Amino acid sequence: MTTEDFKRAAAEAALAHVQPGMKLGLGTGSTAALFVELLGARVAEGLDVVGVPTSEATRELAERFGVPLTTLKEEPELDLTVDGADEVDPELRLIKGGGAALLREKIVAFASKRMIVIADAKKVVQTLGAFPLPIEVVPFGKEATRRAVERAAAELGLSGKVELRRAEDACPIVTDSGHSILDGHFGRIDRPEELAAALSAIPGVVEHGLFIGLADLALIAGADGVTAIEA
Ligand code: 5RP
């Protein structure tokens, strides 16, 4: 089986948690996209749900696959968010934002009663941090913010570089909310709660990709099938 097959298996397993009438948060990324595709097939069979997309890319996908959409303005409280992750640790702490959607992903997950993470087994780590930590920042003063992030991380013993994420044309990427993304190459993040608090205290940081205390269940697909990590 390929990584794509594992991602699809995790997405399929998440569908079993979707009940008629649910208001869903729809994640971003290749795994979440498979969930949206499978959900669209169920909607075509008559399943009655609505979704709030966590990115413009997911909004377009959901429209293509026929998933009815709403907004957090119309539905400020959601039943369930299903989203992918870049890393998942055994305590269900996550790194997210590889697709630059972390701000809307976190807002939608926080507005949901439950969050299910879907991922292939390569995303499971003992300690977060091999994947560079995405941090969404206001474009104004982003170099000052970048340095402040490096200093805050260094105070916690994390010495890796923090880089502005650029697109293939070398221009800084712009998120759906008009912000920039910094990627923190920290290596092992032994105390993610402390790093999360330190990052949140920096003016110019809009949000960071450490998702702590948000996920209730991870459905992890690998060669042995789909296994669950529960909070
Ligand atoms: C987007 C995300 C994605 O969920 C994360 O990058 C995982 O993506 P994929 O399923 O493509 O591996 O956080 O901001």
Torsion of CA 50, 32, 114, 183, to 10 degrees: -130
Cα-flanking dihedrals φ and ψ of residue 132, to 5°? Answer: -55, 135
C-alpha of residue 74 to centroid of ligand 1, in Å:
26
Q: Which atom of ligand 1 is nearest to the CA of 33?
A: 10
Mutate to test the pocket of ligand 1, among 31, 56, 131 (most ligand atoms within 8 A of CB): 31
Cα–Cα distance measured from residue 83 to residue 32, given in angstroms and rounded to the nearest whole number: 5
**Atom 7 in ligand 1: residue holding the nearest Cα:** 85
Could you please report the per-residue DSSP string of 146-212?
HHHHHHHHHHTT----EEE-B-TTSSBP--TTS-EEEEE--S--S-HHHHHHHHHTSTTEEEESEE-
Q: What is the ipTM of this complex?
A: 0.99
Question: CB–CB of 54/108 below 8 Å?
Answer: yes
* pLDDT for position 188: 96
3-class DSSP state for residue 122? helix
Residue 197, amino acid: A
Determine whether the shortest distance from the Cβ of 145 to ligand 1 is under 6 A.
no
Q: Is 101 in the pocket of ligand 1 (CB under 6 A)?
A: yes
Catalytic residues: 105
What are the tens digits of pLDDT across the range 100-148? Answer: 999 999 999 999 999 999 999 999 999 999 999 999 999 999 999 999 9
Which helix (H) or strand (E) segment holds residue 230: the answer is strand 225-230
pLDDT tens profile 59-93: 999 999 999 999 999 999 999 999 999 999 999 99
Q: 85: annotated binding-site residue?
A: yes
Give me ligand 1 centre to Cα 84, in Å: 5
Give burial (CB, 10 Å; 0-12/13-18/19+) of 74.
exposed
Per-residue 3-state assignment (H helix, E strand, C coil) for 1-58: CCHHHHHHHHHHHHHCCCCCCCEEEECCCHHHHHHHHHHHHHHHCCCCCEEEECCHHH
Q: What is the pLDDT of residue 8?
A: 98
Dump pLDDT digits (tens) for 143-201. 999 999 999 999 999 999 999 999 999 999 999 999 999 999 999 999 999 999 999 99
Would you state the structure tokens that stand for residue 194, as one six-digit string?
A: 């402390």
The Å distance, Cα 81 to ligand 1 centre, comes to 14
Q: Tell me how far apart the alpha carbons of residues 145 and 202 are, in angstroms, rounded to a whole number.
A: 7
Distance between CA atoms of residues 54 and 26, nearest Å: 6
